Structure formats: C-alpha cells, structure tokens
Chain A
Amino acid sequence: MSGAASPTLAGLPSAIVFKALGDPTRRSIFEHLARDGEQTVRALTDRAGVSQPAVSKHLAILKLAGLVQDRPHGRETHYHARPDGLRPLIDWLGLHSALWNASFDRLEDLLKRMDN
C-alpha cells in the first residue's frame, strides 16, 4: 500500500460534521433526534445520562455543524435533527475533487522518476 489516494480530510467541508459526530454522546443525541423527532433539552438530558449543561454544550456543537436546529418555546428550547446537515458526509464530488488533485500531484512526481 503506497498510502495513495487519501485526500486530506481536514481540508474538506465535512471536517466540522465529522468532528461533531465523532463524539459518542453527540452521536447518540443526534440519532435520538433523527429517529424520534423534536425533543426538549430536558428530555434529552434525561436520556443522555450527563448533566444539562453538558447536553447544552453538545447541542451547541451539533447546531454549529448544521446537524440540529433549535426552536425556543416558552421557557423550554426544543431541538430537531436536520438530515440535510449530513450532506458533507456524502459529498462525493468534493471528495473526488480532492482525490484527483492529490492523485495528479503524485502522477507528476511519478513521471519525473520514470524513464523516458
């Protein structure tokens, strides 16, 4: 394995989504919202097994990544999942654009090493 064709993930728009969902608690919260629909922070806290401030912090990161949307209602804030937020994870066009540019760099390098 030459380690070829692994585009730099940090340079892709998917990086923030990967980071947001890389944490098991946040993934669990997102999964719960995607499956069961809108929930209050309190309901999410009851399920998550961590403190309400911790849940609020996780929700803020998920919101920043575009994976959840909040809706204030009275004293409570409701959250729902945004399926569209998964878009960068399956952005094949962006992934392949990075892949081909990296591959062409390696092709240039190979051509310099080849006999004429």
Chain B
Amino acid sequence: MTSTHTLVVERELPHSQDKVWRALTQAPLIADWLMQTDFEPVVGKQFSLRTQAMAHWNGVLDCKVLAVEPQSRLAYSWNTSGEEAGRLVTVVTFFLTPTETGVLVRMEQSGFAAMDDSNYRGAAYGWPKYLEGLERVAGQLEQ
C-alpha cells in the first residue's frame, strides 16, 4: 500500500446553494467553467472531461459518477485515459456547505501517488513520451 496525497481547494461563493449545485451538475454549465463533458448526475454514469492536450497529458479524463447527494455532495472518479491510463487515478468530491452569505465549496481530489525516486527512474526510461509536443509548450512559455 503506497501513501497518497489529497489536494483540497476551497472557495466561498456569494450565491445560493441551488445555483452552485446546478453549475456543478449540468453539462453545458460544467463546460463553461471546467471542461467539455457528457456528465449526468446519475450514480454509475460514465463520462469524459476534455481539455487541450499538454506535453504530458492528452487532455482527456475518464470519469464515473460515484455519489450524488443533491445540493450537498458530488463525487466522481478522475482518471487519465488512453495511453496514459493508470498514470493518474483519483477521486474528486465536491462538498457544498451553506454559509451566512452564500455557500462554501470544498473540492477534495484524493489518490495522487506519492512519487518516490523509483517512480521517476521509471519515468526517465519512458521519458520521450512525456516530451512530445515540448517545442509547442516551450513556445507558449516564451509569449
């Protein structure tokens, strides 16, 4: 059993819980702030999230809805796909809590592998794969 890291990002939003829930669970709205998706708020539903490809990620995530508690909790898997399947296997959970002025959104993403040196040695052997498109990425940095 290897230890894993959890990423937590919180944001208090001056809006109703219902409105924030809609933004988290309606596909056209998710596309507006997160990524293009065919998400539906149904436990067991498999869907994808798609963004621009990067040097070390094709930009596609394979996901599955794990929990839907209307207005309060939403969880889905968040895994890299295709050739990069298995490289990232995480679970994203949103918690919505009412506050005096709106709602607190807490995003927890769990399952990030703790990278020890041996992981990087493995990565070094397969390193050309990571570096495809590097010229393009480096070009973006110059701007």
A100 and B107 contact, Cβ closer than 8 Å, known pairs A86-B124, A108-B11: yes
Interface of chain A, main secondary structure: helix
Q: Give complex CA distance A104, B23 in Å.
A: 11
**Interface range on chain A (Cβ under 8 Å from partner):** 35 or more
A111 and B23 contact, Cβ closer than 8 Å, known pairs A10-B141, A103-B34: yes
Chain A residue, CB-CB nearest to B113: A92
A4 and B32 contact, Cβ closer than 8 Å, known pairs A9-B137, A86-B130: yes
Tell me, yes or no, whether B115 is within 8 Å of chain A by CB.
yes
Chain B residue, CB-CB nearest to A19: B138
Tell me, yes or no, whether A87 is within 8 Å of chain B by CB.
yes
Least CB distance from A13 to B in Å reads: 13
Tell me, yes or no, whether A36 is within 8 Å of chain B by CB.
no
Q: Please give, as numbers and ranges, the residues of chain A lying within 8 Å of B117 by CB-CB distance.
A: 83-84
- Can you identify 19 A-B contacts, CB atoms within 8 angstroms? A2-B31, A4-B31, A4-B33, A4-B35, A5-B35, A6-B52, A9-B54, A9-B140, A18-B137, A19-B138, A22-B137, A22-B139, A27-B134, A34-B124, A89-B123, A103-B33, A106-B32, A107-B33, A111-B19
- Excluding A19-B141, A109-B33, 10 further A-B contacts by CB distance (< 8 Å) are A18-B141, A21-B131, A21-B134, A31-B128, A83-B120, A90-B120, A96-B7, A107-B33, A110-B29, A116-B16
